[in-house]
Chain A
């Protein structure tokens, strides 16, 4: 299963990439995908799949675009 993962803000430096296609070993939830790309589990994040916010427990599907971001508050 392949998904495109985009990291936002400081997560880029934590995960070591900005955007890439990731080959997953099997089905994953959004939270598991975040850990798979080495984002600290303790860090509060907001995850979107194909432009819509999802819960960490939501399943990711083949071909999805997943964006993981630090939670911003509008300055």
Chain B
């Protein structure tokens, strides 16, 4: 087999054993890698209803056939497990040297089972796996942990680690790498913490098997050069992702005050221009051609790495318009291992709930200093508020009651990213039908809606665009595994990716093959959802009620009085289901599943819930 190493490393933390397992070429071609591998493995190996924070859950680290090979932005890793935040399959990707090191160690994926009885870290070097004492790192943040590991294992080691949030099973704890990268928004860091696994360290010395390594080397070098040229030509890296903050503010899409408002007169204080002015360094992932991490000094003099999502959610969403203070909130999230999007959403929700009398507390919008204290309380589950907010906005809302769930800004329990879509129907749909809950990673169509459709349209063209992008962003890039930025932001041609894939595997795939594989992975994740929630309804694919609430509409500006409309949103959802081959609940029909080669998986899911 070329392209894939053909092996998965299975590690059991309970009895400190490990084994190398082979997989077939049929499995490889059907599931490609990354998200595809993880969704299939977890479906086959997890029983529905298990406690996501119990030893029965499994943590999967998965790579794809071009991961770790020099080419545009291939230094990514997918991490996945049953999510403690959403209750079904959850995943995320992050940049890490684990991408190349695990492949060079001879594995395309790692399955971590059981739970250690004391703080542990794994040290993997080719065919050796060690279960080492992590007591010195336990209770410490991710920056300390990273440095501690680098001193022992060298700076070129691949490292995945967690902070205090993961240790304390905060339901939106992430896994971190390279001191600036984070992934696994739906609490995959909490799953790692529940296993008392503080870190994973990987080094490999083998060759990654490739059908035509000379061709891949040529394509990879050309691709790196081209993608860098496109970045320089467009000037994208000047402000990186945070250029979009000023634009969102102009088009009424900025998350302000727990997404109550869509723009703010002080937004210019934290926009891309200010970020570029304050820049002290720039960071990216391995093989990156367009670094997105811009660091600044925060209000305590620490180096904090920022991009749009964390500025949007820890800034305007909590009414903080001081870039250094936003930097400070971001630094703490990164050190504790909290997801910055969910952290901003949870803080915003908490301030909103206090304002609306759903709970009592002394946190107000704009109070960054109290926000810092709250982040520590959340990361350590300290006090009543910290412990409850550590479970995410939706679970907190269920405790608070008083209709506060209406303004818990999440879908399926996962807090939404930094786009206020109460007057942007297509992106609201993209959040509603994202595979793992309210994520922007899989489809972002706001410029399409404004430029190529009509903002107020709920037409099938928007559902079709969401599906097109899900196949590319949530499918191709999450399975290969690579960063989507060169294609999505600076126009590096998508057709290059099948060329890379074919060079390493010796196959002859076109983009159409990837769309089929992507649809299969999406259906697989839907079967995870059905198995866990057999009473699923289409309402599960709705965004929060506050986006439909006329009393929450903008009171001035071009979107004055505009909110989402229930009947029209429902028809947009139906366009999506029809195009996907899903039933009225948003679950793939038996016919769709059979077409995708998922008859066995359908039969397995059918034991727990009805398929149509």
Contacts and interface: CB of A to CB of B under 8 A. Distances in A.
Contact of A74 (B234, B239, B446, B558): B446
A4 to B, nearest CB: 11
B451 A12 contact: no
Contacts of A10: 234-236, 238-239, 243
A74 B239 CA distance: 14
Interface stretch (B62-70, B186-194, B244-252, B569-577): B244-252
Contacts of A48: 250-251, 450
B447 A46 contact: yes
Interface residues of A, number: 23
A8 B250 contact: yes
Contacts of B447: 46, 71-73
B599 to A, nearest CB: 35
B557 interface: yes
A12 to B, nearest CB: 6
B559 interface: yes
A18 B269 CA distance: 13
A5 to B, nearest CB: 12
A75 B485 contact: yes
B489 A8 contact: no
Q: How many B residues are at the interface, by size bracket?
A: 20 to 34
A52 B455 contact: yes
Contacts of B241: 75
A46 to B, nearest CB: 5
A48 B558 CA distance: 11
A62 interface: no
Contact of B273 (A18, A70, A74): A18
A2 interface: no
B243 A8 contact: yes
A61 B489 CA distance: 31
A13 interface: yes
Interface string B239-269: 1010110110011100000000000000000
Nearest to A19: B268
Contacts of A13: 235, 238
Interface in A48-74: 48, 50-53, 67, 69-74
Given A72-B243, A74-B419, A51 B251 contact: yes
Contacts of A67: 247, 250-251
A46 B558 CA distance: 17
A72 B292 CA distance: 14
Contact of B252 (A6, A46, A51): A51
A39 to B, nearest CB: 12
B444 interface: yes
A58 B239 CA distance: 29
A70 B234 contact: yes
Nearest to A65: B250
B542 interface: no
Contacts of A53: 251, 450-451, 455
Sorted nearest first, the 9 A-B pairs with minimum C-beta distance are A74-B444, A10-B235, A9-B243, A51-B558, A53-B450, A73-B488, A75-B241, A72-B244, A67-B250
Interface of A: 6, 8-10, 12-14, 18, 43, 46, 48, 50-53, 67, 69-75
Interface of B: 234-236, 238-239, 241, 243-244, 246-247, 250-252, 272-273, 292, 307-309, 419, 440, 444, 446-447, 450-451, 455, 485, 488-489, 557-559
10 contacts: A8-B247, A10-B239, A14-B235, A46-B451, A51-B250, A52-B558, A70-B234, A72-B447, A74-B244, A74-B419
